[in-house]
Amino acid sequence: MVAINIDGFHELDPKDPKVVEIGKFAVQEYNKQSKRILRFVQLFKAKSNDNLPEIKAEYTLIIGAQDNDVLSKFEAVVVEKFNSRRSLIAFKRIEGL
């Protein structure tokens, strides 16, 4: 049974290979857009909403990434369209580890 939150999101397994791939995509896209060099370390938390018109799913991810030798947490939002094309919508550092 999948728990669905009131906002339409449901929790995903952060160890699921497809979900990890989306997390790695978010870090790679952020690096391209910001000219930074973050290294994906792990996915702490993931949820998705697949009840949105015109897109296949929206993923909200809490990602651990390393900047030089410092491990930080980031929140990323990735949208996946029906043609499997992904877009990074948001990527920001969050406090705490």
Give the helix/strand (H/E) hosting 22.
helix 17-34
> Could you tell me which of 97, 54, 56 has the C-alpha nearest to residue 75?
97
Q: Rounded mean pLDDT of 87-93?
A: 97
> pLDDT for 16-63, tens place per residue?
999 999 999 999 999 999 999 999 999 999 999 877 667 778 999 999
- Band of pLDDT at residue 1, cut at 50, 70 and 90: very low
The class of domain 10-94 in CATH terms is: alpha beta
